[in-house]
Structure 1
Amino acid sequence: MIHTSPRLPENATFSAKIDAGDYWLHRIEAGQTLRIIDCEGNQAADTLFFNADDLSERYSMSDTIMGQKNVFLSTGSVLRSNEGKAMLTIVADTCGRHDTLGGACSTESNTVRYSLERRHMHACRDSWMLAIAENPHYGLSKKDITHNLNFFMNVPVTAEGGLTFADGLSAAGKYIEMTAEMNILVLISNCPQLNNPCSGYNPTPIDVIIWS
């Protein structure tokens, strides 16, 4: 559901730009609001959420879908953990649809979906592994890379129950905004995928803004 936000960027307490293919790893306190902005349009932001105080609790695709009885995410969706608890609530969304089924690109999926020659094209899972290696103080490891969300990504479900990658519904300046219901650790890979339409075959930057 399309719903704009009353929050103004000039009142934010934090902002950053994430270039295509880069990662962003950051702690957000309960009650803070995070906005992710699709700067140039049709860009996928592959995102993992963790309970910052207990990393064994993390975003769960199945609990979220079961709780809201909808496979797509937008305003009003409550993002739930593997313990069934509310982690974040989407409070504004100017795109209207976000994916939690398609997963993240990897060197393995590049090989299976496209060709062996494309195996080593940069992938979101590589970005997450780099984030973990460069930030050991957060305590994350490879086993923590599980369910993720793909903000701004369009993955229609076919009548037979399959998934297809389609052109995005987003555009330059579209955003999604979430309020944290607990202390959250956010790990974003700004998708570098060149082989399908999830980033418009031309990965571009995203912005992140936080309000206290």
Structure 2
Amino acid sequence: MTDRIAPRSGTAFELDYGDELVVLDPEGGQVSDLVAYARADVREVISNGRTFDYEETISLTTGNALWSNRSRRMLEIVEDTAGRHDFLLTPCSVDTFRHFYPDKPAHRGCFGNLAEALAPYGIEEDAIPTAFNVFMNVPVDPAGGKIAVLPPSTSPGDQIRLRALMPLVIGLTACSAYASNGGSFKPIDYRIEPAGDDSDGDDRS
């Protein structure tokens, strides 16, 4: 079954070892912020720094893994029709809107949506890390290192499939920032495909 995250909102749910999470952009041009925590101890959290270090790239796609702050693989990208995602920028927040969009109404953003969705799991605001920004288009200038935030290059139906390599708590949003989504806000779809008997991974605990 496919679930829908309404524009500018978020949700949280659990994955078991070997489950596959498919995140879809149903209309094209929409970013989704993803964070992950180990269910056994939510102090173990997805880490962009560890991921860049061990994967030796900031351009993460099929075959790459997303690592935790404890140097364990949390998710493996097993399919990716989009090919471009960001793991540099933090979830947008009220402060983001005040900084970049002072002429627009402040919104709690992905940070606020994640905080609300993750609270039932005992995860506090200060434990929300840099998200894996699914479908986000953040080119880095090779000369000076300057970054830009451009509209996503996704087409309707583009997706990414990630396999859980340990039991996880996942936070997932339909991003709220203007620049990230080309100035419009659309839904994000997702579905969880339970692990089969032949699934493999790093940690069943």
Regarding TM over 0.5, the answer is yes
Segment drifting more, 101-110 vs 40-49: 101-110
**Which letter maps to 1:199?**
N
Gaps of 5+ in 2: 195-205
5+ unaligned residues in a row in structure 1: which ranges? Answer: 1-13
Return the alpha-carbon distance in structure 1 between the equivalents of residues 105 and 147 of structure 2: 21
Is contact 1:42-1:170 (8 Å) kept?
Answer: yes
Aligned pair count?
193
The aligned counterpart of 1:211 is 193
> Residue 176 of structure 2: SS of its match in structure 1?
coil
Residues 190-209 of structure 1 aligned to structure 2 (within 5 Å): 190-194=174-178, 196=179, 198-209=180-191
Name the SS of the counterpart of 1:72 in structure 2: coil
Distance in 2 between residues matched to 1:121 and 1:184, nearest whole Å: 28
Rounded Cα–Cα distance in structure 2 between residues aligned with 1:121 and 1:29: 32
1:39 and 1:56, CA in 2 relative to 1: closer, same or farther beyond 3 A?
A: same
Q: Structure 2: how far apart are the matches of 1:106 and 1:186?
A: 19
Percentage identity across paired residues of the two chains: 30
Residue from 140, 150, 153 that aligns with 1:166: 150
How far off is 1:128 after superposition? Answer: 1.4
- The residue identity in structure 2 corresponding to 1:190 is A
| 2:159 paired residue number | 175
Residue number in structure 2 paired with 1:9: none
Aligned to 1:81: 68
Q: How does 1:1-212 map to 2 (within 5 A)?
A: 14-115=1-102, 117-118=103-104, 120-133=106-119, 136=120, 138-158=121-141, 159-194=143-178, 196=179, 198-212=180-194
SS in 2 for 1:98: coil
Does the CA-based 8 Å contact 1:102-1:163 persist in structure 2?
no
| Deviation digits for residues 75-120 of structure 1 (CA, Å, limit 9, x no counterpart) | 01110000110001000000011100022111112222232x4362
